[in-house]
Amino acid sequence: MIPPPRALVFDWDNTLVDGWPAVLAGLNAAFAAFAMPPWDHARVLREVRRSLRETFPAIFGAEWERARDIFTAEVRAVHLSVLRPLDGSAAMLDAAARLPLAVVSNKQGPILRREAEHLGWAPRFRALLGAGDCAADKPDPAPMLAALNAIGAAPSPEVWYVGDTRLDMEAARRAGVSAVLLGDAAHDGGMPHGLCDARFADGHALAAYLCGLDKGG
């Protein structure tokens, strides 16, 4: 087992919250504007990993910035009404409250921070970094290193990055922190052996582990 954490950094979507309905609405608004077929929820969950500025040029070509603006406008219109914390997220954050916490996500930074404020979670985190906040986006190490700087931690196995996809595990490894999987990554084709350093079934399981540390377990 990896060392117990001295700091925790979390992914956002599908790790702490379910915000996929807004992403689906935004994508399909952009697809409709370009006469492209819509995606369903399963495809969004399966394929959306990297940030918008990395993926939209390949999908929409030279007009990707117009597609971005359509997507962003639709997401902003609906995201707070459909946002839901995942079961176990609150317990996990409560159990981790004694540790420095941050978020590194590929959701656009302003939208990420608005969602954290809406849930009343913003004060829990010393940094909330999303796509566009650094020179490059996850899995590039830049946002993770910026988050670590904000919480006063150096890269080490005692810093855990908790996420739900292979991309998250890659981001952790590239930044020199422990890669901790939440769930089974079934939506991401499963997790190859050795790609994550530790795995917890859900937020409740990670909360129980953290509570055990507080009790000397």
Residue range 45-84, pLDDT digits in tens: 888 989 999 999 999 999 999 999 999 999 999 999 999 9
Known catalytic residue at 11: yes
- Residue 37 φ then ψ, to 5°: -65, 145
- 7-18+84-214 CATH fold: Rossmann fold (3.40.50)
- Residue ranges, comma separated, of all CATH 1.10.150 domains in the chain are 20-82
pLDDT band at 194 (very low <50, low <70, confident <90, very high): confident
The active-site residue out of 11, 133, 164, 188 is: 11
The predicted pLDDT at position 83 comes to 97
* Mean pLDDT for the stretch of residues 137-159: 97
User: Any idea which of 5-9, 18-22, 170-174, 190-194 has the lowest mean pLDDT?
Assistant: 190-194
Residues facing residue 104 across a β-bridge: 129
DSSP secondary structure code for residue 124 in this structure:
G
Over range 181-200, report the average pLDDT: 91
Q: Indicate the fold that domain 20-82 takes in CATH.
A: DNA polymerase; domain 1 (1.10.150)
Q: Which position has the token pair 């969950």? A: 45
State pLDDT tens for residues 95-141: 999 999 999 999 999 999 999 999 999 999 999 999 999 999 999 99
Q: What is the average pLDDT across 9-23?
A: 96
Find the catalytic residue in 13, 137, 164, 188. 13
Q: Residue 174's closest CA among 146, 151, 149, 140?
A: 140
pLDDT tops 70 at residue 216: no
Angle between helices 64-82 and 20-33 (to 10 degrees): 150
* Strands laid side by side in the 159-163 sheet: 127-131, 101-108, 7-10, 159-163, 178-182, 198-200
Of the pLDDT bands very low, low, confident and very high (cuts 50, 70, 90), residue 217 is: low
Domain with CATH 3.40.50.1000 in the chain: 7-18+84-214
How would you class 128 by CB atoms within 10 Å of its CB: exposed for 0-12, middle for 13-18, buried for 19 or more?
Answer: buried
Active site residue 137: no
pTM for the predicted model, two decimal places: 0.93
The radius of gyration of the chain from alpha carbons, rounded to an integer in Å, stands at 17
- Residue 1 in this model has a pLDDT that exceeds 90: no
With beta carbons less than 8 A apart as the criterion, state whether 180 and 197 touch. Answer: yes
Q: What is the mean pLDDT of the chain?
A: 95
